[in-house]
Structure 1
Amino acid sequence: MSELTKEMPKKLGFGCMRLPVTDGSTENINDAAFCEMIDSYIEQGFKYFDTAYPYHNGRSEEAVGRCLVQRYARDRFFLASKMPVWLVKEYADYGKYFEEQLKKCQVEYFDFYLLHAMNKDRVKEAENLGGFQFVQSMKAEGKIRHIGFSFHDKADVLDEILTNHPEMEFVQLQINYYDWESENVQSRKCYEVAEKHGVPVIVMEPVKGGTLANMVGEPARILSALDENASYASYAVRYAASLPNVILVLSGMSDLKQLQDNTAYMKDFQPLTDKEQQAIGKVVEELEKLPTIPCTNCRYCVEGCPKKIRIPDIFGVYNMGVQFGVTDVTRGSYRCQIDGSGKAGDCIKCGKCEAQCPQHLEIRKLLEEAADIYEKEMHL
């Protein structure tokens, strides 16, 4: 058992990427609702909060400072944040962003600190600019307790990073039962690489951006037959938490109801049974029959889009159409997603979005398909 495993009281982490907002704007976080969620989470013995520089257009860290740090003693919680490596142009930038993050969060140190969204290109940039040395120096100064990185690439790249950087204490991976055997995401292969190196894993996207929480048809029937009172999300989170080398599973909870559901089954966590594992295998078979877009709503693609297209929101409507049919409801949802922003048909195919997509989706082609489905019929 690793030292980090011993340190983690429970396996559910509070992801601060999809916090409650007041008026639909990602920047206007609902502090009262967030505080209520924090209180419920901490009262039940959980303590890990995960934020990052870009979350909520830069407002997540500030909200954590107001709603968590100002209201609780420092030993009541673990706080994790991440270095926006894509913004770093020279070594001095690491210190600039790091100090800004400490100030936003109103803390003197981070319990866990990650180089954010590493892939083959970004790890080379971080090595050339001294990113790995920087986090080690901050750890030596006591401003970081544990150093690691989040990762979006193939297993061979992860193997190279962990081989070259044994100082990394943990890695954050996208793991869920739908992506477990995916050649695109390579959840299983990446997990096995971390296990080989003896590096503990923190899981992100266990519910695949909410996809695995909203089952219909045969997948819903299969899971409901196990326990009609258990949420679909519970099986996804418990699947990830059942992996031996996983020390924590992050859930980006948006309201108190989601939090109460997650904490109910993770407070006294029980690994999946053989019967539940078999049922999930059947669910995956059914899901693979549906041609939905495997978008996780990370929103990296939205930044820099010259036409201001809310790509994940449009994909969400597209998937609703696949699952439930193109109806007045999905048409209305599409109108909402393009209100005040670009529509799918506005795409100029510049490719900036695809360069940022951790899922390596063919976004330009998919936007064209969404435009064909909704915009022609609705004369938009």
Structure 2
Amino acid sequence: MTMVKNKINRRKFLELFSTATASTAALLTGCKQKPNEQQLIEDEYKTQIEPPTDKMTYRINPNTNDKVSLLGYGMMRLPTTDGKAGRESRAPLDQEAINHLVDYAIEHGVNYFDTSPAYCQGRSEAATGIALHRHPRESYFIATKMSNFAPATFPHDESVRLFQNSLKNLQVDYLDYYLLHGIGMGGGMEVFNARFIDNGILDYLLEQRKAGKIRNLGFSYHGDIKVFDFLLENHDKYHWDFVQIEMNYLDWRHAHEINERNTNAEYLYGELLKRNIPAVIMEPLLGGRLSNIPQYIVAEMKQRNPERSAASWAFRYVGSKPNVLTALSGMTYMEHLKDNLLSYCPLKPLTDEEENFLYDIARKLVGLQTIPCNDCKYCMPCPYGLDIPGIFVYYNKCKNEGTLPQDTEDKEYAKLRRNYLLGMDRSIPKLRQANHCVGCKQCEPHCPQNIRIPDEMQKIDAQIETLKQEMLK
């Protein structure tokens, strides 16, 4: 289907990509690897697959008739000069790399770019503005947010300043899509009222929409369903042009089962569909978890379609829902961008049978009982130095791979125990591990997944302490 250099087909690419993923996993567990082997695999991949430039699937926003690319570029994981993502590194953002990614995305039909004053430790908007300003204004849609999370930004003048800074940083006179950021993420209606109602900022944003400074006004939802329901019950008053929700084939029916404080996407999407409010989708891969699922599940996917990655199944799932305007993906590297483009250039909608297949996989994933961390790092920095997402990512990785030491009767138990403890020390510095959590709960209100973080840290710490004591016997 796609022309490739060196006569390597997509099936071969996926084998290489799987090898790359395995190599990364090996690093996390302390296995040795040849220098630059991972980079060589990624560089080879970059020359192997080229998505078509004229096959992007688009959706029409019924409120403004915007023709929006089904793949949206999430600007929260922009590359830095040290090769990491901007949300986890203080190194300068790599503007040249960002420009190249944005140019490539636009060349291949992407026209929706989603950012926030909070992304990449406050640096995303400016970098996004630099990259996009080099293109005709009518060739892209910019989405950004009222990210007034800190109490110091609640006052009217401070929130207005955030809005005006967004225009300045993005180098634009108007914003195509503007969101109340993270409603329901912490504090319920009380915090929502403090951020948007009591200070008059929602009225101000409605005025900005009327004046043309905002073309589409919406909100992104995290957590407290009472806030979501309140805003939709008042749709006739606010006339939401779109709403951003977390949706994927796992969260469709199991979000509440995984964490009772979350809401199933089936309900969220259904409420928007009833009101004909377009849905913008975040976390189609659950922070990458649905692209790094257990290998025995990947094998089931490969049996059906050897040329499809695990990530492509997740993207096809959300894209197959007709009320989805665009699906956001935070793409740090070119290989991520290319693979996601191949899912939507063009979209091949799921059949009913394929959709049910994914729901079967979702039930299996729920049974793994991992911690629902998306590695978004909203909980960071921890005042006591913990690497909260790093601890959860390592735990989930071992859980998914079946290397978590649990059954003392297992003949491999001693080996699993040793590898787990060594891997934890290699992945997370000792001073940043779970035993240093004091239970202050400063992180909890910031978690979009509503994880009871101190409780989970206590469980992991107790498990590790038990494993260490067993080694001393």
**TM-score, structure 1 as length reference:** 0.92
Q: Is 1:291 matched up with 2:369?
A: yes
Runs of 5+ unmatched residues, structure 1: none
Structure 1 CA distance for aligned equivalents of residues 379 and 365 of structure 2: 24
**Structure 2: how far apart are the matches of 1:36 and 1:329?**
40
Shift of 1:206: 0.7
What letter is aligned with 1:142?
G
Q: Partners of 1:341 and 1:36 in 2: how far apart? A: 38
Native 8 Å contact 1:222 1:279 kept in 2: no
Q: Tell me the equivalent position of 1:348.
A: 438
Q: In the TM superposition, what is the alpha-carbon distance from 1:153 to its structure 2 partner?
A: 2.5
Moved more, 288-297 or 15-24: 15-24
Question: TM-score, normalised on structure 2?
Answer: 0.75
The SS at the match of 1:206 is coil
Q: Name the aligned partner's letter for residue 75 of structure 2.
A: C
Between 1:3-12 and 1:132-141, the stretch displaced more is: 3-12
1:171 to 243, 256, 270: 243
Say which is worse superposed, 134-143 or 111-120, in terms of deviation: 134-143
SS in 2 for 1:292: coil
1:45 lines up with 2:45 in the alignment: no
Range moving further from structure 2, 16-25 or 39-48: 16-25
Same amino acid, percent of matched pairs: 33
Secondary structure of the residue aligned to 1:361 is coil
Summarize the alignment of residues 9-158 of structure 1 with structure 2, pairs less than 5 Å apart.
9-23=68-82, 24=84, 25-27=88-90, 28-69=92-133, 71-87=134-150, 88-119=153-184, 120-121=188-189, 122-125=191-194, 126-158=196-228
Code of the aligned partner of 2:220: S
Judge conservation of contact 2:243–2:279 (CA < 8 Å) in 1. yes
Deviations 1:34-81 (A, max 9, x none): 222212110111100000111111011121122222x21211211111
Contact kept, 8 Å, 1:155 with 1:190, in 2: the verdict is no
1:338: Cα distance to partner? 3.5
1:62 aligned partner, one-letter code = A
Aligned-residue offset at 1:217: 3.4
Q: Secondary structure at the match of 1:251?
A: strand
Task: Return the letter of the residue paired with 1:111.
Answer: D
Give, as a single letter, the amino acid of the residue that structure 1 aligns with 2:70: K
1:199 maps onto 2:277 in alignment: yes
**4+ residue segments displaced more than 3 Å:** 154-157, 326-341, 372-379
Is the 1:53–1:61 contact (alpha carbons within 8 Å) kept by the matching residues of 2?
yes
Contact 1:20–1:30 (CA<8 Å) still a contact in 2? yes
Report the 3-state secondary structure (helix = DSSP H, G, I; strand = E; otherwise coil) of the residue aligned with 2:251.
coil
CA distance in 1, matches of 2:337, 2:422: 28
Distance 2:224 2:269 in 1: 11
| CA distance, structure 1, for counterparts of residue 159 and residue 268 of structure 2 | 27
Aligned length: 377
- Aligned mates of 1:237, 1:193 — CA distance in 2: 21
Larger-Rg structure: 2
For 2:443, what is the secondary structure of its paired residue? helix
The one of 350, 359, 366 equivalent to 1:281 is: 359
Q: Tell me if the contact between 1:200 and 1:245 (Cα under 8 Å) persists in the aligned partners.
A: yes
Cα distance 1:255–1:109, how it changes in 2: closer, same or farther (>3 A)?
same
In the alignment, residue 84 of structure 1 is paired with which amino acid? S
- Contact 1:12–1:250 under 8 Å retained in 2: yes
* C-alpha contact (below 8 Å) 1:2/1:200 kept by paired residues: yes
What amino acid is aligned across from residue 351 of structure 1 in structure 2?
A: K
Match of 1:315 in 2: 392
Contact 2:293 2:400 in 1 (8 A): no
Structure-2 separation of matches of 1:330 and 1:130: 52
Q: Aligned partners of 1:64 and 1:279: how far apart in 2?
A: 38
| 1:369 to partner: Cα distance | 2.8
Please provide the CA RMSD for this pair. 2.2
Deviation at residue 331 of structure 1 after TM alignment: 5.2
Q: How far has the Cα of 1:332 moved from its partner?
A: 6.1
CA distance in 2, matches of 1:296, 1:32: 27
Is the 8 Å Cα contact of residues 156 and 199 (structure 2) preserved in structure 1? yes
Offset of residue 219 of structure 1: 1.7
Distance 1:146 1:357, change over 3 A: same
What CA distance in whole angstroms lies between the structure 2 residues aligned with 1:104 and 1:332? 44
